[in-house]
Amino acid sequence: MQYLIRHPGRSFRVVLPALMFLIQATAACQNRVQINTDLAKDTISRNIYGHFSEHLGRCIYGGYYVGEGNTKIPNTRGIRNDVVDALRKLRIPNLRWPGGCFADTYHWKDGIGPGAKRPAIVNSWWGGVTEDNSFGTHEFLDLCEQLGAEPYITGNVGSGTVQDFAQWVQYTNSEGAGPMSALRKENGREKPWNVRFWGVGNEAWGCGGNMTAEYYANIYRTFATFIPASWKNGPLWRIASGAGSSDFHWTEVLMRDIPQGLIEGIALHHYAVDWNHKSSATGFTEAEYFETMRRALEMEDLVQRHAAIMDKYDPKKKIALVVDEWGGWYDVEPGTNPAFLYQQNTMRDAMIAGVTLNIFNNHCDRVRMANLAQTINVLQAVVLTEGERMIVTPTYHVMEMYTVHHDALLLPSSVRGGTYAVEGKSLPAVSVSASRDRSGATHISLVNIDPGHVQEVVIETRGAASSSVSGRILASGRLQDHNTFDDPSRVKPAEFAGARLDGTSLRVQLPPCSVVVLTLR
Point out the residue whose Cβ comes nearest to ligand AHR: 100
Give 131 or 203: the residue with its C-beta nearer to ligand AHR.
Answer: 203
- Stretch of residues binding ligand AHR (CB under 6 A), selected from 96-104, 253-261, 402-410, 504-512: 96-104
- First-to-last alpha carbon distance for the chain, in angstroms, is 30
Sequence-separated (6 or more) residues with CB below 8 Å from residue 412: 35, 36, 39, 40, 362
State the minimum distance, in angstroms, from the CB of residue 327 to ligand AHR. Answer: 8
Annotated active-site residue 325? The verdict is yes
DSSP codes of every residue in 453-497: --EEEEEEEET---S-EEEEEEE-SSTT-B--SSSTTSS--EE--
State the minimum distance, in angstroms, from the CB of residue 401 to ligand AHR. Answer: 24
Contact between 371 and 53 (Cβ < 8 Å): no
- Stretch of residues binding ligand AHR (CB under 6 A), selected from 98-106, 145-153, 184-192, 362-370: 98-106
Among 63, 78, 93, 100, contact with ligand AHR (rule: CB under 6 A): 100
99 binds ligand AHR (CB under 6 A): yes
Count, residues in the chain = 521
| Catalytic residue (choose from 54, 203, 288, 291) | 203
Spatial separation of the C-alpha atoms in residues 209 and 155, rounded to whole Å: 13
- Stretch of residues binding ligand AHR (CB under 6 A), selected from 6-14, 73-81, 97-105, 272-280: 97-105
State the minimum distance, in angstroms, from the CB of residue 40 to ligand AHR. Answer: 34
State the minimum distance, in angstroms, from the CB of residue 103 to ligand AHR. Answer: 8
**Of 240, 256, 163, which is closest to residue 202 (Cα–Cα)?**
240
Q: What is the CA radius of gyration of the chain?
A: 23
Segments of 367-481 assigned E as strands: 367-373, 383-386, 389-392, 409-410, 413-417, 419-422, 425-428, 430-436, 442-448, 455-462, 469-475
Give 324 or 481: the residue with its C-beta nearer to ligand AHR.
Answer: 324
Annotated active-site residue 286? The verdict is no
**Interface mask toward ligand AHR for 199-228; x: CB under 6 A:** ---xx-------------------------
Give 99 or 512: the residue with its C-beta nearer to ligand AHR.
Answer: 99
Give 52 or 65: the residue with its C-beta nearer to ligand AHR.
Answer: 52
Spatial separation of the C-alpha atoms in residues 243 and 256, rounded to whole Å: 14
The one-letter amino acid code at 399 reads M
**Interface mask toward ligand AHR for 316-355; x: CB under 6 A:** ---------x------------------------------
State the minimum distance, in angstroms, from the CB of residue 102 to ligand AHR. Answer: 6
Residues β-bridged to residue 517 = 445, 472
Q: Give the binding-site size for ligand AHR (rule: CB under 6 A).
A: 10
87 binds ligand AHR (CB under 6 A): no
State the minimum distance, in angstroms, from the CB of residue 139 to ligand AHR. Answer: 20
- Helix and strand numbers (H, E) in the chain are 10, 31
139 binds ligand AHR (CB under 6 A): no
Decide: residue 268, CB within 10 A, 0-12 exposed, 13-18 middle, 19+ buried.
buried
Segments of 249-357 assigned E as strands: 265-272, 320-328
State the minimum distance, in angstroms, from the CB of residue 53 to ligand AHR. Answer: 10
101 binds ligand AHR (CB under 6 A): yes
State the minimum distance, in angstroms, from the CB of residue 201 to ligand AHR. Answer: 10
| Catalytic residue (choose from 131, 288, 291, 325) | 325
Decide: residue 70, CB within 10 A, 0-12 exposed, 13-18 middle, 19+ buried.
exposed
- Stretch of residues binding ligand AHR (CB under 6 A), selected from 94-102, 187-195, 351-359, 388-396: 94-102
Q: Is 324 helix (H, G, I), strand (E, B) or coil?
A: strand
Site for ligand AHR in 183-202 (CB under 6 A): 202
54 binds ligand AHR (CB under 6 A): yes
Give 266 or 373: the residue with its C-beta nearer to ligand AHR.
Answer: 373
Give me the torsion for CA of 210, 214, 216, 218, rounded to 10°. -150
Give 99 or 511: the residue with its C-beta nearer to ligand AHR.
Answer: 99
Contact between 166 and 174 (Cβ < 8 Å): no
**Interface mask toward ligand AHR for 354-393; x: CB under 6 A:** -------------------xx----x--------------
**Of 320, 322, 321, 137, which is closest to residue 235 (Cα–Cα)?**
320
State the minimum distance, in angstroms, from the CB of residue 491 to ligand AHR. Answer: 24
Catalytic residues: 203, 325
Q: Can you give the binding site for ligand AHR, defined by CB under 6 A?
A: 54, 99-101, 202-203, 325, 373-374, 379
